[in-house]
Amino acid sequence: MNLAVIGAGYVGLVTATVFAKFGNKVWLVDIDEKKIKDLKKGKIPFYEPGLERLIKKNTAKLFFTTNYKEAIPQTEIIFICVGTPNRNGEVELKYFFSAARSIAKNLKKPAIVVIKSTVPPGINKQIEKIMKKYTKVKFDLASCPEFLREGKALEDTLNPYRVIIGIKRKSVADKLLKLHQKISGKRLVCDTASAQLIKYASNAYLPTKISFANSISVLCDKFGADVNKVMEGMGMDGRIGPDFLSAGLGYGGSCFPKDVAALIRLAKKADYNFEILKAIQKANQVQIDYFLKKIVRLCGGSIRNKKIVVLGLAFKPETSDMREARSIYVIKGLKRRGAKVCACDPVAISEAKKILSGVRFFADPYQALKGAEALLLVTEWKDYRQLDFKKIKRLMKSPVVVDGRNIYNRKRLEKLGFIYEGIGR
Ligand SMILES: NC(=O)c1ccc[n+]([C@@H]2O[C@H](COP(=O)([O-])OP(=O)(O)OC[C@H]3O[C@@H](n4cnc5c(N)ncnc54)[C@H](O)[C@@H]3O)[C@@H](O)[C@H]2O)c1
């Protein structure tokens, strides 16, 4: 099949590559000239495990362009995967509308336009109207929201929990079901507004679990309980499930914070006060203050002029994405309190440098930890799970470890002479 994917970001590039792997000819269109130039040279714009290799294997079926004219006329199915970022709590739709206009202007034969970007439920009527201004060619609008997780994007696209297909006409569902044949997971065919709301509801529910676990973690600290055990026990109940119950520093990234904010705003516009979600947002912010207070207490009441080392900058392991990373808020809080901040990450330093100033960056954690007065674990990269703490003990000026993701063994660290605290244990 001839396909086009609009937007060469995390979703678009992965979607295009996976459909090319299954034998389709895929055009990938992006307005970012540098990105397309780099992709043509085989340079991938972000770190995503396995992606570079899969793109290289499928170069014969993948075509990169900034020109809609080259891609759209011959395609049967077009996926819109452009960004829909947060603008003051609202969904910024200018990229999405612009992509829809450009598609319409270049349609030469009937096509299915599939919205993968996360967009407000019910927007299809508006899109249809806009597109009809620019084309007389027949098109169908469908909605297949994307659920991939960065760091596991390929795995999730090939083996998702589910493929949601929002349509108006059954024949469109049949075509999309056929296209997704080689992708595993459950199928749900529904109307387009429901498909779009499934995405928002899912991206609001998962942070709800995280914030709930974090709130319980505060009580665990107060009552001397172990949040890992509490969550393990809760997760044993099939009605609750064990996923997304890890207490820590809260959620970040390009999706959860913006989609929670967007759903609150969408609800407000529909005259509904989504109070649960407001509390989830608040709990997520408060968790950073809770962590900072712990650090100050463990450092003897002040971190002014003290060298503090942050391990992990990316919003989660296995990605270079820094959008809404918890590290940003932790580091800003440390700096406000006068600390000298050093930070490490295996892949996200160049992204972090664009956002954070007044921080010394190190690829090597041991180098960073020389003379440090506290080690803060912020992103649980595999490299940081396997650190040599005997060596670290010799390097640090003061052996304080504050574990924002509860990955270290308290007994072991205490035996080595560290002062250790996690979150809720
Ligand atoms: N990143 C994720 O983990 C993830 C997961 C599920 C859903 N989503 C949703 O998918 C959408 C895309 O997210 P992303 O993270 O891939 O975004 P991204 O910011 O990584 O990439 C978006 C790309 O779209 C391009 N673009 C913008 N306007 C364009 C236009 N008019 N024509 C062509 N290209 C254009 C940009 O240059 C950019 O390369 C968003 O709605 C997001 O909420 C993202």
Q: pLDDT for 243-290, tens place per residue?
A: 999 999 999 999 999 999 999 999 999 999 999 999 999 999 999 999
Give the model's pLDDT for residue 88.
Answer: 86
Q: How far is the CA of 95 from the centre of ligand 1 (A)?
A: 9
Q: Which of 24-28, 32-36, 88-92, 139-143 has the lowest mean pLDDT?
A: 88-92
Ligand 1 atom at minimum distance from 84 CA:
41
108's tokens:
């030469």
Q: Is 301 exposed, middle or buried (0-12, 13-18, 19+ CB in 10 A)?
A: exposed
- In this structure, CATH architecture of domain 2-190: 3-Layer(aba) Sandwich (3.40)
Ligand 1 atom at minimum distance from 13 CA:
16
Q: How far is the CA of 106 from the centre of ligand 1 (A)?
A: 21
Residue identifier of the C-alpha nearest atom 19 of ligand 1: 83
Task: State if residue 29 touches ligand 1 by the CB under 6 angstroms criterion.
Answer: yes
Ligand 1 atom at minimum distance from 145 CA:
7
**CB within 8 Å of 155: residues ≥ 6 apart:** none
Same fold flag, 2-190 and 193-425:
yes
Q: Is 255 a catalytic residue?
A: yes
As a whole number of angstroms, the distance between CA 396 and CA 374 comes to 8
In this prediction, residue 89 has a pLDDT band, given cuts at 50, 70 and 90, of: confident
As a whole number of angstroms, the distance between CA 403 and CA 198 comes to 34
**CB within 8 Å of 149: residues ≥ 6 apart:** 156
97's tokens:
């509308």
User: CA end-to-end span of the chain, whole Å?
Assistant: 53
Task: State if residue 36 touches ligand 1 by the CB under 6 angstroms criterion.
Answer: no
Q: How far is the CA of 223 from the centre of ligand 1 (A)?
A: 44
314's tokens:
């990316």
Nearest to 403 by CA among 373, 372, 374: 374
Count of all residues that appear for the chain in the document: 425
Task: State if residue 11 touches ligand 1 by the CB under 6 angstroms criterion.
Answer: yes
pTM above 0.85, yes or no: yes
As a whole number of angstroms, the distance between CA 342 and CA 61 comes to 44
Catalytic residue among 144, 220, 255, 299: 255
Write out the H or E segment, with its range, that includes residue 25. Answer: strand 25-29
Position 59, amino acid: T
Assign domain 193-425 to a CATH class: alpha beta
CA 91 from centre of chain: 16
Residue identifier of the C-alpha nearest atom 15 of ligand 1: 10
Q: Which residues of 230-246 are buried (b: 16+ CB within 10 A; e: fewer)?
A: bbeebbeeeeeeeebbb
Task: State if residue 150 touches ligand 1 by the CB under 6 angstroms criterion.
Answer: yes
Task: State if residue 91 touches ligand 1 by the CB under 6 angstroms criterion.
Answer: no
CB 4 within 8 A of CB 71: yes
Q: Read off the pLDDT of each residue in 411-422 and give the average, rounded to a whole number.
A: 98
Task: State if residue 96 touches ligand 1 by the CB under 6 angstroms criterion.
Answer: no
Q: How many CB atoms lie within 10 A of CB 152?
A: 16
Beta bridge partners of 3: 26, 77
Q: pLDDT for 366-402, tens place per residue?
A: 999 999 999 999 999 999 999 999 999 999 999 999 9
User: Which segments within 58-172 are labelled E, that is strand?
Assistant: 62-65, 77-80, 86-87, 90-91, 111-115, 139-143, 162-166
Q: How far is the CA of 10 from the centre of ligand 1 (A)?
A: 7
As a whole number of angstroms, the distance between CA 241 and CA 231 comes to 10
Ligand 1 atom at minimum distance from 12 CA:
16
Domains of the chain by residue range: 2-190, 193-425
